[in-house]
Amino acid sequence: KGSFDGPNRTTLLDANDQIRSVKDYEKLIIAYQDGAPLRLGDVAKISDGAEDRFLAAWANSESAVLLNIQKQPGANVIDVADRVRALLPQLSATMPTAVDVTVLTDRTNSIRASVKDVQKELLFAIGLVVLVTFAFLRSVPATIIPSIAVPLSLVGTFAFMYLAEFSINNLSLMALTIATGFVVDDAIVMLENIARHRENGDTPLAAALKGAKEIGFTLISLTLSLIAVLIPLLFMADVVGRMFHEFAVTLAVSIGISLVVSLTLTPMMCARMLREPLQTENQKQGAMDKFIARYGDMLDWVLARQPAAMLVMLATIALTVLLYFAVDKDFFPIQDSGVIQVVTEAPQNSSFAAMSRRQQALAAALLEDPGVSSLSSFIGVDGSNATLNSGRMFVNLPAHHLRSESIFDVMARLRERAEDVPGIDEWFQPVQELSIEDQISRTQYRFTLTAASTAELTEWVPKLISALQQRPELVDIASDLQQQGEQAYINIDRDAAARLGVSVSSIADTLQNAYGQRQIATLFTQSNQYRVVLEVDPVQSSGLAALKSLYVPTASGVPAPLSSVATVEQRPAALVINHQSQFPAATLSFNLAKGSSLGEAVDAIESAQLEIGLPLGIESRFQGAAEAFRASLSNTLWLVLAAVATMYVVLGVLYESTIHPITILSTLPSATVGALLALLITGRSLDMIAVIGVVLLIGLVKKNGIMMVDFALDAQRNHGMSPREAIHRAALLRFRPILMTTLAALFGALPLMLAGGSGAELRQPLGLVMVGGLLVSQVLTLFTTPVVYLFFDRFSGAEYTDSDLRLNDDIDSPSAKE
């Protein structure tokens, strides 16, 4: 209240003007009757209690206080979880001995397991790439030379990630795993070219200088065109672009570092370590040379039938279009995170006590399942639950490596158990580590209807739900439109109220005081503050009969029963009214039926809306992942086209030609066919992860065309060869590096395709698309690229004069090996 500041000392002022305890309130005098004080404790019961008694939570089957901790944007979730766990012992020490502090759900467990699995796959990919290199070169020193590009590129990429403040996550580790097969390509091409000169008798130093000079431009073309396909991904402004920004940058940096290594360190190591030719004279007729000779015979056969080969090329393009429309479309694969979210809902007129009993009964039924390790449960109105008849659960499964069944198998079994619990509906969905949802929903996907009035929604939402329930692509269809709650409507007789001297405001105040939990004061202490709430005894508020004993004040001072001035009517009422863009809205939720894709579900919803004749005044809009999927359908095509266009521009600048880049790009349809066929055969959808794989394929498979076209153009311009002879020799001469680099990239992607463990669903599509595309493109492009080169060479208008011809021995004559 103040202080006295005297000559020698200071004295603080305080007073007992604030009531600070229940006992003080009980002693409070509110009136005098017959000269005796009437205290508040004589007419009311004062007690300490919870701020909101309509909230409840359980850990397994025990009552609990649930504390949800979320990281701030930009924070590292692993670091946050570790620091929170480090603080738990201090928190436990401050709690009573009867209170246990435990961690129920830790989302970082699945993240850690997933990152650990990807790290294993990265090491596996490195091992496979090294083995492929050794299988072709049959020399330990020669194997070490290109293999050293892998750790150097990865270490350099990690350094860049540190400086750019990137985190090591599933996407960045996937980029590094894929990069394992990419970064060794340049070194293999450089090594193979130097080794070829070494086999022809050049000294190590001369072979290194000559080979590096010949192949340098080719490597630059390979790398820049591969980075070029990532540029559209870097500048995508939608959610997919933001999610894959670090993925694209990480991959581009690792590829760029590998180019520097291949142009500098690889030739130096070849000059120092490649003392012996990779093949001696007695070995030159080995399996690889026989394989090349056989390929030469087959290529001669194809070149003799160029029209038929061009038809195959055109058929590949047509097949790409057909497969694109045939394969299912999806957004992101559903992951097995080991955590199931359950949204519960009781009948709309259920009381809090009834909802509590049903929620606990459901939790007990789920805990009996052997696949469940623990669960947390919550009911009450908060930021996620809008009504008292709704609740949430998080069901935790054992770690992925400790269980033999998937999260989808467990969910199917839990749904059957939940059906035996009466009076409550439930919706199951696996919690996703890679998600763009901004709110908790009953199901995995949702869309919203908005209208000018709630009446329109009340009429049309049930019709649409009925139509959607007939669609086999959809399950778990639900709506948040709750219009059937019970309402007690107090119909005031104003004439009767006027006769008795009762004001309408006094009736409203009486009802608010009795049942509205009106806050009448606030207690302030040194450490907290407490609201003082007024209400009738809970025993008198259990039903409508309590209104008969309610009295309202009159002008005469004699209270009148509420029934004398008002009647009570029971009506249905909306429990909650949602809005979107200021218009009444209803959100419909759905899951995908087994074997259905999100693309099929979207088509089914749009078809159902047309079927029931949904009025134009009611607007339908997908939300969350479903909305992002619809946007990605159009963005996917533009992403691929932008990648192709960017690569065409880069190649056009490098080759100073508008024709020959088309020859190189002719390798793309075969890769796309292989990717889509792999998805179709395995029953997978074309999701965004698979699309990223297709984009990477576009940058990867054109290397076959670059290595052939680059040599053929040089042979024509500088050695006077005819186009047919030039492309024939280019194909034979580059066959071994083409095969080596393709297999290196394929085996680099193989661990992702065969991925298991936590989060494998996210990695498998990328590996599957890469492997399928590389296999098909490797077979087709070795034959179609020479044919396309000869076809477009007729339109190039290239003329080579004698002054342009510089015949020398820089380029081997593959005819000696044919």
pLDDT band at 493 (very low <50, low <70, confident <90, very high): very high
pLDDT of 362 above 90:
yes
- pLDDT of residue 800 exceeding 50, the answer is no
Contacts of 347 (CB under 8 A, 6+ apart): 389, 423
591-608 tens-digit pLDDT: 888 778 888 888 899 999
The pLDDT, as a whole number, for residue 278 is 58
* Per-residue pLDDT reduced to its tens digit, 533-557: 888 887 777 778 888 888 999 988 8
**Block residue for tokens 């580590």:** 433
pLDDT of 519 higher than 50: yes
Residue range 186-213, pLDDT digits in tens: 888 888 888 878 877 788 888 889 888 8
Name the CA dihedral angle for 672, 673, 679, 680, rounded to a multiple of 10 degrees: 150
Residue 813 has a pLDDT of: 39
Distances (CA, A) of 721 to 193, 424, 736: 20, 81, 22
Confidence of residue 355 (pLDDT cuts 50, 70, 90): very high
Report the chain's C-alpha Rg in angstroms. 37
Among 722, 726, 729, 738, smallest CA distance to 780 is for 738
Q: Is pLDDT above 60 for 706?
A: yes
Query: 447, 387, 445: which is closest to 588 by C-alpha?
Result: 447
- pLDDT of 281 above 60: no
DSSP string, 754-809: T--STTHHHHHHHHHHHHHHHHHHHHHHHHHHHHHHHHHHTTS-----GGG----S
Determine the residue type at 266: T
pLDDT at 375: 93
CA 267 to chain CA centroid, Å, is 42
What three-state secondary structure class fits 184? helix
- What is the predicted pLDDT for the residue at 438? 66
What is the signed CA dihedral for 223, 228, 230, 235, rounded to 10 degrees? 150
Q: Residue 768: which pLDDT band, with cuts at 50, 70 and 90?
A: very high
pLDDT grade for 803, boundaries at 50, 70 and 90: very low
Report the range out of 226-240, 330-344, 494-508 with the highest average pLDDT.
494-508
Res 168 pLDDT > 80: no
* pLDDT greater than 90 at residue 175: no
Say what percent of the chain tops pLDDT 90.
14
Confidence of residue 285 (pLDDT cuts 50, 70, 90): very low
The pLDDT of 617-626, averaged and rounded, is: 84
Compute the average pLDDT of residues 77-106: 88
Mean pLDDT of 302-327: 89
One-character DSSP codes across 503-519: -HHHHHHHHHHHHS-EE
Which domains are assigned to the chain?
2-43 (no CATH), 110-326+657-816 (1.20.1640.10), 485-573 (3.30.2090.10)
Mean pLDDT of 620-643: 77
pLDDT at site 326: 87
Q: What is the pLDDT of residues 374-405, one digit of tens each?
A: 999 999 887 677 788 889 999 999 988 888 88
Percent of the chain with pLDDT over 70: 95
Pairing of strands 36-39, 29-33: antiparallel
- Residue 288's region, left for phi above 0, alpha for psi from -120 to 50, else beta, is alpha
pLDDT band for 286, please (50, 70, 90 cuts): low
Alpha helices in 229-304 (DSSP H): 231-234, 239-243, 245-273, 287-303
pLDDT, tens digit, for every residue of 12-61?
888 887 787 888 888 888 888 888 899 988 888 888 887 778 889 999 98
